[in-house]
Amino acid sequence: MTDTATIALVPEPVAGRHIPADLPTRIQHYIDGAFVDSADGDTFDVLDPVSNEVYLQAAAGKKADIDRAVAAARTAFAEGPWPRMLPRERSRILHRIADIVESRDARLAELESFDSGLPITQALGQARRAAENFRFFADLIVAQADDTYKVPGRQINYVNRKPIGVAGLITPWNTPFMLESWKLGPALATGNTVVLKPAEFTPLSASLWAGIFEEAGLPKGVFNLVNGLGEDAGDALVKHPDVPLISFTGESSTGRLIFGNAAPYLKGLSMELGGKSPAIVFADADLDAAIDATIFGVFSLNGERCTAGSRILVQREVYDEFVSRYAAQAARVVVGYPHDPATEVGALVHPEHYEKVMSYVELGKTEGRLVAGGGRPEGFETGNFVAPTVFADVAPDARIFQEEIFGPVVAITPFDTDEEALALANDTKYGLAAYVWTNDLKRAHNFAQAVEAGMVWLNSNNVRDLRTPFGGVKASGLGHEGGYRSIDFYTDQQAVHITLGEVHNPTFGKTDAAASH
């Protein structure tokens, strides 16, 4: 393994900037078991969100680098041991990966928090969840059962599940390490080889996979990593003819572009896209629990969360009480430096994203009633800090009700009846998650049935069971991953048919009469 260069940075002191020890200043690609620069030597700048100073140069991959990575992954698939290993052997390596990730959770969290601005306690949770993803698929692959159908005395039909080949994995910058594990776990468990293109805002944690995989014994060429911009490296991966699968997580508009670019190749696509998920609070709900959950639901992970409950719909009877309690609690949410364990909302990932979120905060002031936050929090003169911001009385045609902001900003809207709540909940192009708060059992289940969302939580925060499907409807996604559905996405299911009794042959061309015609 060629190590990436590490030097101790001696930057200008920037208030609140905690610099991890041995921070790399250069990140390369990882292709066929070696760290390499881009073929053309090009790099791009990476900033940390507290100082917005460049702290790292990452190799900027282009088509030539993707070609190299895909060739390595193809050779590892066609000739290497990985797809041919027993599931138990692959599972052992995956468990070792989980062990290593768990044993380094503090370091991973420190780097992730520094690079992305996520609060350190939440980054730690994400590192552990990344380990859990590997463990889950390590267990699932050895328990995998496939269908067999018997026609007594005549035929047996069975499903022969096979890895597909080189999987292209394209990931976003929110909780990057965890979301990469979400794709890497099942893609590798099923015997595929991969090329990962992580998000350009946050390439730091992805670069750690290479060392972790080598240590765990993953064969050379099975995992390849190409850094770079979406329109260069990502685009080349999507258009590579030897990559039959693309698993993408990111914005709906990018998903649409990738869908078109992959169409000529008829690739297998899985898309986890944007959201504007509603949290619906009925008057009969446990208001304390609903307030805690809806605060966490939009302000955790800095609000940079695809399943954020960023529209809260509240029944008129409890609306005023809800809004005043919610605003007071939002104002108490602790904004702080990402490395501080007391921090609940850290710094947004990048100044470009900060500008976007701030533009929605300004827009919100014309579209709703500002009841908390509304700008840069006091005491944070630099860096991408946004105070948890709450707008009440937001009309459904407001842009802050319709568009994904992806920051600590929430819109609250009143409703009167169940029908109105449902209409409001479904009134966006997205359909990722929905959260329903009521103590009426019938209402809860009927609402879940009718709401246009891939995932519904009833009287619950966003707590996942890894066996359940994960995905969105409408503009929030295409297909489902999670549990055996991920196994389905990363495998071909070939049907094999065997005759048991007499061969069932209608015989053509048997008689002379047939021959004379």
Number of residues written out for the chain = 517
Distance CA 7, CA 93 (A): 31
Q: Give SS3 for 44.
A: strand
Helix, strand, or coil (residue 154): coil
Please name the residues in contact with 223: beta carbons below 8 A apart, sequence gap of 6 or more: 30, 184, 188, 193, 194, 196, 209, 210, 213
Verify binding: residue 170, ligand NAD, rule CB under 6 A. Answer: yes
The piece of 65-73, 267-275, 384-392, 414-422 that touches ligand NAD (CB under 6 A) is 267-275
The reply to whether 147 sits near ligand NAD by the rule CB under 6 A is no
383 belongs to the binding site for ligand NAD (CB under 6 A):
no
Assign 373 to helix, strand or coil: coil
Cα 280 to Cα 55, 372, 436, 472: the distances in Å are: 42, 20, 5, 18
Cβ atoms of residues 38 and 61 within 8 Å: yes
Q: Which stretch binds ligand NAD (CB under 6 A): 109-117, 170-178, 315-323, 381-389?
A: 170-178
Contact residue for ligand NAD among 337, 391, 406, 437 (CB under 6 A): 406
199 binds ligand NAD (CB under 6 A): yes
* Residue 89 to residues 72, 153, 167, 458, Cα–Cα distance (Å): 22, 36, 20, 39
53 part of the interface to ligand NAD, by CB under 6 A: no
Catalytic residue check, 272: yes
Give the count of beta carbons closer than 10 Å to the beta carbon of residue 204. 24
Q: Does the footprint of ligand NAD cover residue 338 (CB under 6 A)?
A: no
H helix or E strand, kind and range, residue 223: strand 223-225
Closest C-alpha to 420, from 309, 320, 278, 306:
278
Q: Which of residues 207-246 bind ligand NAD (CB under 6 A)?
A: 230-231, 234-235, 238
Q: How far apart are the C-alpha atoms of 248 and 225, rounded to whole Å?
A: 15
For ligand NAD, give the closer residue by CB, 83 or 477. 477
Residue 392 CB, nearest approach to ligand NAD (Å): 24
Residue 404 makes contact with ligand NAD by CB under 6 A: yes
Q: Is residue 176 a contact point for ligand NAD (CB under 6 A)? A: no
Task: Rule CB under 6 A: say whether 452 interacts with ligand NAD.
Answer: no
Name the active-site residue from 272, 304, 344, 404: 272
Interaction mask 274-293, ligand NAD, x per CB under 6 A:
xx------------------
Question: Which CB sits closer to ligand NAD, 28 or 476?
Answer: 476
Tokens representing residue 35 in the block: 């760290």
The residues carrying an active-site annotation are 272
Task: By CB under 6 A, name the binding residues for ligand NAD.
Answer: 170-174, 179, 197, 199-200, 230-231, 234-235, 238, 249-251, 254, 257-258, 272-275, 306, 404, 406, 432, 472, 476-477
